[in-house]
Structure 1
Amino acid sequence: RLHAQGNPPELFEDLWARHSEKDRLYHNVAHIKMCLNELDLARHLADDPDAIEFALWFHDAVYNSNKQDQSLPDDDESESAGLAQEVITQLLVLPQEFAQKVGSLILATKHSETPKDIDHQLMVDIDLAILGRSIRLYDIYEQNVHTEYGWVPQEQFTAARIRILKSFLDDRDSIYSTKFFFDRYEEQAEFNLNRSIQQLSV
């Protein structure tokens, strides 16, 4: 579809291996599958759905929850974006413009800025879709994230987690930027986040 060169099957195997690492309880193959399913539902809204799909495959390609090792990179999104751009331009020999777009989409999953256009909005909303899923699925997500950071002292983890969850409620007008995902998940996401914050605060 993108008329790529190189060896896509080998790249796929590398991505699969990265997302199958034993310490990945949430940021794994299942998360990628969920994201791609969400994209399928909203693909018609995107200006460049291929860029979003590529970015979803790579947005957690580098993921190190174990930051107690100071030799590890501390900016996974930037590392993932750099890896994706290298793969696009050097291995698949696709245009630089596509690489820049994919890198920008991956960086949007830092969730530190308001998404600037429909593709970035969809990328962020898809990454946050888990927040609006059923209580059962959301609770599994929270437990898996907790396990990924199991080395962090409980008090420290709780304070950081509350801060992160509150940021989704307090630092933006709504959790989801697109009407599509707002209508689909906003109400349940607000309930899940408030419930989780309350439980963590006990």
Structure 2
Amino acid sequence: MLKQVFLNLCESYTDDFLKTTSLWNEIEKEHTKPNRYYHNISHLVHIYQQLLSIKPEIIDWDILLFSLFYHDFIYNILKKNNEEASADKAVQVLNNLQHISKERIDNCHQIILATKNHQINTNSDVNYFTDADLSILGASWQTYTTYINNIRKEYKLYPDFLYNKGRKQVLRQLLAMPQLYKTPHFKKQYELQARQNITAEIKLLEN
């Protein structure tokens, strides 16, 4: 499904089918690496479905899609600049396509960088994207459990005492935010469940 979405997206910006196929193959290769238990194609599908439900609210749908495909392109648990590197990759790709203004490319860069801290933004497309990215936090407990197990697998390099300490810090930072979700649509749907899930996970990590 996502392959066709990507190919259709690129049709407006290049008539080089070999180029777009090559770009997709690159995306697929990165997202199907064996160390990606959560940040994989399924994660992209999940976000796409979340965004599709609010498509009429999006200002620049194509740029949001490019942000989707490249926001986790670079993913290395040993690095702290994954978002920056992924945003730079997106800029590189978009600069080699046609009919995309610098303003729109900068917007894509901004959206991807926003997934690092998930702070509220004056750009509503940024808020919709970061909310969709965090929507997994507000899933059912069963789905959330699968998510946290997959995240743990991605960080299997670290022993429990180190992982648990870092994970709890991240979770407590999320709970400290005035609101996890910046848009009414996602806040209404996920805020309460997300806070319950996060609180429950912290208790599990403390046992």
Q: Provide the TM-score with structure 1 as the length reference.
A: 0.92
**Counterpart AA for 1:41:** S
Q: Does 1:186 align with 2:186?
A: no
Aligned to 1:54: 66
- Where do 1:93-112 residues align within 5 Å? 94-111=100-117
Q: Which one of the candidate residues 9, 13, 20 is aligned to 1:4?
A: 13
Aligned to 1:153: 159
Tell me if structure 2 keeps the 8 A contact 1:39–1:53: no
Q: Which one of the candidate residues 107, 117, 126 is aligned to 2:123?
A: 117
Q: Does 1:139 align with 2:148?
A: no
Q: Does 1:78 align with 2:84?
A: yes
Gaps of 5+ in 1: 68-72
- Where do 1:18-37 residues align within 5 Å? 18-37=30-49
Give the drift of 1:95: 2.2
**Counterpart AA for 1:10:** S
Q: Which one of the candidate residues 182, 187, 191 is aligned to 1:177?
A: 182
Q: Does 1:200 align with 2:200?
A: no
Q: Which moved more, 1:6-15 or 1:81-90?
A: 6-15
Secondary structure, aligned partner of 1:35: helix
Gaps of 5+ in 2: 1-8
Q: Aligned partners of 1:131, 1:15: CA distance in 2, in Å?
A: 25
Q: Deviations over 1:97-118 (max 9, x none)?
A: 2211101000000025333321
Identity of aligned residues (%): 28
Q: Number of residue pairs matched? A: 195
